[in-house]
Structure formats: structure tokens, C-alpha cells
Amino acid sequence: MGFTDTRFNVNLSILFTELPLLERPAAARAAGFTAVELWWPWVDAPVPEPAELAALRTALTDAGTRLVGLNFYAGQLPGPDRGALSVPGEESEKFRANVPVAVEFGRSLGCTSFNALYGNRVAGVPAAEQDALALENLAFAARAVAEVGGTVLIEALNAAESPHCPIVSAPKAIEVVDAVNAATGLDNTRFLMDLYHLSMNGEDLDEVIDRYTPQTAHVQIADNPGRGAPGTGDLDFSDLLGRLKKAGYQGWTGLEYKPGDGPSAGAFAWLPAPLHAARS
């Protein structure tokens, strides 16, 4: 159990970034993956030109890659200024403008999982005010996603790399999940369990898996320290992924790690060779 029982997809916003965006789906397919996920690719455009959306859609379909996860607009990723939905003013307005665009783009590709990143705390705005705005915007997103039978994902980041983000623990992320579900009555908001961020926060990953898998709709992995491929750090992914399986998790596991010094195509040696079927 572990690697051989896991459905892996690759995140094209952190792997294959040595290539232009439209070339990444084909590169992922050549590496053996038929499922991918993306952060919102246009960091300065919550509502990009239709031609840009169409070009990415064509690149994904022509490559034979299925989009299984998409972030809503969240500002500059990667970087410490991530997140938009709880930031008053222009950023949260961009988030709301992005939601219908992202949902329709995802729907056109069969994607129903949408990651909504909380924003950083900002000076001069009470935390309660930001949290109220976040709940309003997350409920807005959950209602939009419900129209395509989809799920909103809430992710905990890590305090070291995102010191101004208020969602830096599994319990806090679950608190937000529960609040959104209570506000909408839709029960379509779930936890995104990123084992790298949780380990960076010093959480007991076994306990997180055992306690929160029933509320988890997506998993992401990278080793710690370093955010590299499994085997470059200290986490035992065979054990962790096996534990997830035993806890009942059957969803996708996104590879969201840095490829190292070489091309991304060489960053999958940790996967046993017969795992082509497990990547699709």
C-alpha cells in the first residue's frame, strides 16, 4: 500500500515551469501523467482574454491531460503575497470577478475542484472584518461551484513561508470549511490536505490524516525540508499515503514540489516504474 494505491496528478504551476504554459500539458503527458492541476495561470488577470482561456483548454485536451484541480485567482503565486478573497478592496473584487470565469473554464474541462486561498492579514483592517469578508466570498464561490456539481477546497499554508496568512493549521482550515458549509447549507466545501505545509507547521501528520480524511477532497505532497520530491527530505510518503488509503481517501494526490536543479521530467524517479496506471 502507498504509492501503488495512489492516483497521482502533477501541478503544472510548480513542475514543468521551465516550459511555456501551453507546452506543459504535453510534457506532463510525456512523463506519464494524464491528470494535472493548476494555480490560476494569469496572476495579473482574474478575467483573461477568451483567446488565452481557449489556448490553454486546447493545450490540455490535445495533450490528453485531464484538469482535476484549479485555483481561483489568488494574486502572486508563488510568493508571500498570496491570497485574495479576504483582502478588502481590489483584491477581493478580483476574486469575485474570477469565480464565474474559473468555474466555467473548469466545467469545460470536467474539473470540479477549486482551491480558494485565504488572503494575508492586512494592516489597518480588523481580523474579524477580513474573516467576515472571507466567509461572504467563500459562500459566493461555493454557490457558483455547486452549479457544476463542484467542490471548494480550503488549504492551510505554513507560517514560516506565509507569516501573515491566518490559515496555518489543519484545525483552522477545518473551522473555515465548517463555517462555509453552515453558511450555504450546500456541504460542498472540503479540506485540501497539503502534507508539506502541515509538516512545516509541525503538525502530527498521522493524527491529521486519521482525524480529517473524511473532510478531505484533495491531497498535495512535497517533501520537507526543501519542498522537493519525495525522498529528498524526511517524510515517509509510502507510510503517509498508505495511511490515507486506510482512512478511506480515494481522491487525487497532487505532486506540488520543486523539481530540483534538472528538468522537471527527471523529477519522478522516486515513483516505481510500473506506476503509469496509477498516474492516470
User: Looking at the annotation, which residues are catalytic?
Assistant: 155, 256
Cα separation, 106 vs 74, in Å, equals: 16
Quick count: other Cβ atoms within 10 Å of Cβ 129? 12
In the numeric block, the cell 503544472 is attached to 12
Are 182 and 135 in contact by the 8 Å Cβ rule? The answer is no
Quick count: other Cβ atoms within 10 Å of Cβ 20? 9
Query: Beta strand pairing status for 7-11 and 151-155?
Result: unpaired
Of how many residues is the chain composed? 280
Strands (E), the chain: 7-11, 35-38, 66-71, 113-115, 151-155, 189-194, 216-221, 252-255
3-state secondary structure of 191: strand
Cell numbers at 271, concatenated: 515513483
